[in-house]
């Protein structure tokens, strides 16, 4: 059997902290008995809960921390207050120190990304990280990125995201050449921003061996699952994700409303309750919980802050897979052979552009 996967948990993160994180870890452990946990947080609290989870206790080491990054902390506040001392920082730091293979936190996204960036730094050749999520579709799931790490991607950022997203998709879907699409708008007159067009031309010309570039996709194509990886800039990606979540909730609420609207509907509901349970299962947001930070020197997974143990376990599962199937070296390999965004200068004149052009040797 291969060596265990060591996962660092920010036990204090999220709306419910240890009360969700530890039962979630216990659940993930039943599915992956080869996980070893490093638990960062209030030791007394952790020990009290571990008493009810002997198997988890056996698989875990505890590192006491006093400082908690709250859901309201701004990234700058979190760094000021929590650097080196918070459970969130320490979990990430364990990855940097190679004491853990991956960190999972349900703490606030901005703080987690800021700490991960400061502590782990971006990978060689990558100028900035992205957050990828698994998006439930009619055909299964797709990887969608960036859902909110950075705003305003250059063509090269988009190309890099295509490569990183494909590396993740190879693991999650176990396919050699994931289909990749660039999110764009369908109005002929304006057909996309320059960066998206340039990234599209670059990906098309490059024929990168690690991905099958399928051109532009529109918002309605995401849910149809026409590609395995949807690449977009962080502002539009975040808005797409939240809008889809909102629409799904809206639909569910409408459905609940009409099923209570008459006696016949209520009787129908009783007959069909197995079908409704199936629907709930298919739509269960907990199953696709876990945003993967891509482009850092380490694997960091962000769980939804308000999720329950089942949802947190899913976030651990995805971290486990990313480690077990070597996300980082797959990204490294992909980035080495990645296409460079065409004729136009890379980047936007910021340090990003300069940093990545130094690495152009490999293209």
Nearer to a second copy, 136 or 339 (CB): 136
> What does each C-alpha distance from 293 to 3, 103, 218, 342 come to in angstroms?
23, 10, 24, 26
Instruction: Answer yes or no: are the C-beta atoms of 132 and 143 closer than 8 Å.
Output: yes
Minimum Å gap between C-beta 335 and a second copy is 23
Instruction: Count other Cβ atoms within 10 Å, centred on residue 110.
Output: 17
Nearer to a second copy, 6 or 302 (CB): 302
Minimum Å gap between C-beta 111 and a second copy is 7
Phi, psi at residue 304, to the nearest 5°? -55, 140
Write down the H helix ranges in 225-307: 234-259, 263-271, 273-283
Minimum Å gap between C-beta 197 and a second copy is 11
Minimum Å gap between C-beta 163 and a second copy is 22
Instruction: Answer yes or no: are the C-beta atoms of 289 and 317 closer than 8 Å.
Output: no
Nearer to a second copy, 177 or 287 (CB): 287
Nearer to a second copy, 51 or 138 (CB): 138
Chain centroid, CA 270 distance in Å: 37
Nearer to a second copy, 85 or 265 (CB): 265
Minimum Å gap between C-beta 88 and a second copy is 14
d(CA 243, CA 209): 33
Minimum Å gap between C-beta 73 and a second copy is 8
Minimum Å gap between C-beta 131 and a second copy is 8
Instruction: Answer yes or no: are the C-beta atoms of 315 and 309 closer than 8 Å.
Output: no
Instruction: Answer yes or no: are the C-beta atoms of 11 and 50 closer than 8 Å.
Output: no
Task: For residue 239, give the 3-state DSSP assignment.
Answer: helix
Nearer to a second copy, 40 or 135 (CB): 135
> What does each C-alpha distance from 17 to 52, 67, 229, 323 come to in angstroms?
16, 13, 32, 24
Task: Say which residues have a Cβ less than 8 Å from residue 270's Cβ, sequence separation at least 6.
Answer: none
Nearer to a second copy, 57 or 131 (CB): 131
């Amino acid at each position: 059997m291969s060596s265990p996967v060591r996962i660092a948990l920010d036990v204090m993160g999220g709306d419910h902290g240890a009360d969700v994180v530890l039962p979630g870890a216990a659940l993930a452990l039943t599915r992956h008995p080869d996980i070893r946990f490093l638990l960062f947080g209030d030791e007394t609290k952790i020990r009290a809960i571990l008493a009810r989870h002997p198997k988890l206790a056996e698989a875990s080491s505890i590192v006491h921390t006093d400082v908690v990054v709250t859901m309201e902390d701004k990234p700058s506040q979190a760094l000021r207050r929590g650097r080196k001392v918070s459970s969130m920082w320490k979990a990430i730091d364990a990855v940097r120190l190679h004491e853990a293979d991956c960190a999972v936190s349900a703490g606030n996204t901005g703080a987690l990304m800021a700490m991960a960036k400061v502590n782990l730094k971006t990978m060689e050749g990558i100028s900035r990280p992205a957050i990828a999520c698994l998006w439930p579709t009619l055909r299964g799931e797709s990887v969608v990125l960036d859902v909110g790490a950075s705003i305003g991607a250059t063509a090269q950022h988009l190309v890099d995201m295509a490569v990183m997203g494909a590396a993740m998709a190879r693991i999650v879907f176990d396919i050699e050449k994931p289909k990749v699409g660039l999110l764009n708008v369908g109005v002929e007159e304006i057909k996309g921003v320059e960066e998206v067009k340039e990234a599209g031309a670059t990906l098309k010309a490059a024929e990168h061996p690690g991905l099958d570039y399928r051109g532009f996709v529109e918002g309605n194509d995401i849910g149809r699952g026409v590609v395995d990886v949807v690449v977009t800039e962080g502002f539009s990606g975040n808005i797409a994700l939240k809008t889809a979540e909102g629409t799904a909730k809206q639909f569910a609420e409408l459905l609940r409303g009409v099923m209570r609207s008459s006696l016949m509907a209520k009787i129908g509901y009783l007959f069909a309750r197995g079908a409704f349970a199936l629907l709930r299962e298919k739509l269960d947001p907990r199953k696709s919980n876990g945003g993967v930070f891509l482009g850092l020197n380490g694997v960091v997974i962000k769980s939804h802050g308000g999720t329950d143990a089942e949802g947190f376990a899913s976030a651990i599962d995805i971290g486990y897979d990313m480690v077990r199937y070597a996300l980082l070296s797959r990204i490294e390999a992909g980035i080495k052979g990645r296409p460079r965004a065409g004729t136009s200068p890379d980047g936007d004149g910021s340090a990003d552009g300069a940093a990545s052009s130094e690495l152009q040797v490999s293209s």
